[in-house]
Amino acid sequence: EDHEFIYKSADAKTVELMGEWNGWKSVPMTKDSDGSWTAKVTLSPGTYAYKFLVDGKDWVFDPDNSNKKTVDNVENSAIEIK
């Protein structure tokens, strides 16, 4: 199913979605006029760790999602697809 990830940051120059579902390969996010960055990915059912990579250097939790998943001793945000 398609899931849309949203990260709100008017100041960011680039935001990439990094996720466990594709081996942490970068998914570019698109900036909207309101300063939100979005990306849609198709995910099978399961629970996936992810973070946002801001300006190519800062790995950021999803501020709108309190769920967490630890992968390789690193805490990440987590999305559950039913």
Look up the pTM and report it. Answer: 0.94
Query: Which conformational region is residue 75 in: left (phi greater than 0), alpha (psi within -120 to 50 degrees), or beta?
Result: beta
- Confidence class for position 1, pLDDT limits 50, 70, 90: confident
Assess contact for 33 and 10: CB atoms under 8 A.
Answer: no
Instruction: Write down the pLDDT at residue 19.
Output: 98
d(CA 43, CA 80): 10
Helix (H, G, I), strand (E, B) or coil at 9: coil
Span 4-57, pLDDT tens digits:
999 999 999 999 999 999 999 999 999 999 999 999 999 999 999 999 999 999
Of the candidates 81, 76, 82, 73, the residue with the CA atom closest to the CA atom of residue 20? 76
Instruction: Write down the pLDDT at residue 11.
Output: 94
In sequence order, what are the beta bridge partners of 71? 74
